[in-house]
Structure 1
Amino acid sequence: MGSDRRAPGPGRSEAGSHRSEALKERIYVTFTALVVTVASARDVEHQTVGGAASTLALTVLGTLLAVFVADLTASMVTRAALPTGVEIRRMLFVSFGSLGVIVAPMIILGFSAFGQLSLSSALRLTAIVLVATLVVITLIAIFRVRAALWVKLIVLASVALLGVAVLAVELSIH
């Protein structure tokens, strides 16, 4: 959690460093959202759509606030100075750019709120969408990596398996 404040390494541009930080936070937030969704699905008979949506939104927002505060504090400790306005804007972008991860889950829960899906189905679909999001984020990340295709496929398969493992836990509870 949090961003790497080291200077970009050889062959790593400043823009690439920022993309890397944003990508890392999106993966972290997506896994967090997936776990919260699975926990809500586990206790679906005691859940409401509003409760599930607010738990998801508050958990993600709290996580992003924690990331921002950690980045801000780490920057101050590392440099013994307050970050510049540009650095704070970058930290805000990296931290809160990950809010997009919960757009689809909130839309799905909205369908449930309007009676188009049961809450149980909405949470299950949300979990599937979040696993798919992890796979897409990983695909984007490995697209630019200079590595053998088999290495890229192992990374992609590992992320997909981790997401599916979280879903398996949810299915084993029901």
Structure 2
Amino acid sequence: MARSDRASEERADALKERVYATFTGLAIVLVQHSNVAHIDAARATVTLLVGIVAITAAGLVADVIAHLAVHEAFPDRAEAGRMVRVSGTALASAALPLVLLALAWAGVLELEPALRISSIVYLATLGVIGYAAVRRTRIAWWKQLLALGILVALGAIVVLLQQLAHGH
């Protein structure tokens, strides 16, 4: 595979990890927001951090398993480094929400607004990623708009399913 193809694949894989982590983070803060009267800021912060670290670790393990299955060997140092870099991008998805929850933990911000703003940040992140992906296509503007609408609808279905899974 050519270097530019590998770089493109790595960017695509990193973006995919970030989307997974963003959906995970969104689900976590939405569930916490619906139970805000029963949790404190420390628990909310730690829960989000652990959830994002878990989805990041799961992505890395999935990459290693897939590599083993396809190549019948463990990844070499370069490939393992690529896997860690790609998986690590998922952590970035939680940066601002974690700062907001840490501010709530420190008493600078109330927990409810911190969770609400975190939800908005996650939704905006998904929207920007979807918009950027659609804009890169070479299709007519109205098809781009339709594609973005479909992506938004699919994202809403994912959020709904995550909420149903948590009983809300």
Q: Are 2:89 and 1:100 equivalent residues in the alignment?
A: no
Deviations 1:50-87 (A, max 9, x none): 10111111011111101101110110110111211111
* Residue of structure 2 equivalent to 1:126: 118
Any stretches of 5+ residues in structure 1 without a counterpart? 1-6
Deviations 1:112-170 (A, max 9, x none): 22333221111111101100011112223233222222232223333444556749x7x
Q: Are 2:66 and 1:74 equivalent residues in the alignment?
A: yes
Asked if the contact 1:131/1:163 (under 8 Å) is kept, the reply is no
Q: Are 2:82 and 1:113 equivalent residues in the alignment?
A: no
Aligned length: 161
TM-score, normalised on structure 2? 0.85
* Residue of structure 1 equivalent to 2:16: 24
Asked if the contact 1:109/1:119 (under 8 Å) is kept, the reply is yes
Any stretches of 5+ residues in structure 2 without a counterpart? none
Asked if the contact 2:67/2:74 (under 8 Å) is kept, the reply is yes
TM-score, normalised on structure 1? 0.82
RMSD of aligned alpha carbons: 2.3
In the alignment, the residues of structure 2 paired with residue 112 and residue 134 of structure 1 have an alpha-carbon distance, to the nearest angstrom, of 24
In the alignment, the residues of structure 2 paired with residue 17 and residue 148 of structure 1 have an alpha-carbon distance, to the nearest angstrom, of 25
In the alignment, the residues of structure 2 paired with residue 100 and residue 140 of structure 1 have an alpha-carbon distance, to the nearest angstrom, of 18
Deviations 1:16-72 (A, max 9, x none): 111111111111110110001111111111111110111111011111101101110
- Runs of 4+ residues over 6 Å off in structure 1: none
Kindly, what percent of the aligned residue pairs are identical? 35
* Residue of structure 2 equivalent to 1:158: 150
